[in-house]
């Protein structure tokens, strides 16, 4: 895959602004493994090779077991491998990422709100939106994953 454009060089202020949101999420109080899990699932839904590679590596380096990492796309069938908050965050990530198809139904909101406080749910939704933005940049401009470039 050949990168179409270096969007970080073309729009550095915009990328810094997204980085500010990323920094906010990092200090929001949401657990990093939970956020990274959501980032990975959003990236899988969107088909972003660059982000799937990056977040898979981060989760593995953070200690996530390989079998759990492998089952993220089918987390509903993974039994108790994922805890209730992880399941809730993954379900919320899926419905919000697919907003054009789901409309984010009341039942999905109610399920997420039962597991996360208002601030947590707002922050989680910002994280989902942020990763969708990053995915759209990386996919649109064909940013190659580190596994391909050897820059892991």
For the stretch 96-108, pLDDT in tens is 999 999 999 999 9
CB 85 within 8 A of CB 34: yes
pLDDT over 80 at 138, yes or no? yes
Residue reference for tokens 């990056």: 54
Q: What pLDDT does 152 receive?
A: 64
pLDDT over 80 at 1, yes or no? no
Q: Which CATH class is domain 31-149?
A: mainly alpha
Query: Is the Cα torsion angle 113, 119, 122, 123 positive or negative in sign?
Result: negative
Alpha carbon separation from 17 to 8, 11, 22, 23 (Å, rounded) = 11, 10, 9, 10
What is the tens place of the pLDDT at every residue in 61-81?
A: 999 999 999 999 999 999 999
pLDDT over 80 at 150, yes or no? no
C-alpha torsion 15→19→20→21, nearest 10: 110
């Amino acid at each position: 895959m050949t990168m179409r454009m270096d969007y970080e060089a073309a729009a550095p202020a915009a990328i810094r602004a997204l980085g500010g949101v990323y920094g906010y999420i990092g200090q929001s109080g949401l657990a990093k493994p939970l956020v990274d899990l959501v980032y990975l699932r959003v990236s899988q839904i969107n088909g972003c090779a660059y982000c799937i590679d990056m977040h898979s590596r981060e989760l593995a380096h953070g200690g996530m077991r390989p079998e759990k990492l492998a089952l993220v796309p089918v987390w509903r069938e993974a039994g108790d491998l994922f805890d209730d908050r992880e399941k809730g965050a993954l379900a919320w990530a899926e419905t919000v990422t697919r907003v054009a198809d789901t409309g984010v139904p009341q039942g999905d909101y109610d399920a997420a709100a039962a597991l996360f406080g208002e601030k947590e749910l707002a922050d989680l939704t910002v994280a989902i939106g942020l990763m969708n933005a990053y995915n759209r940049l990386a996919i649109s401009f064909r940013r190659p994953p580190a596994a391909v470039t050897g820059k892991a």
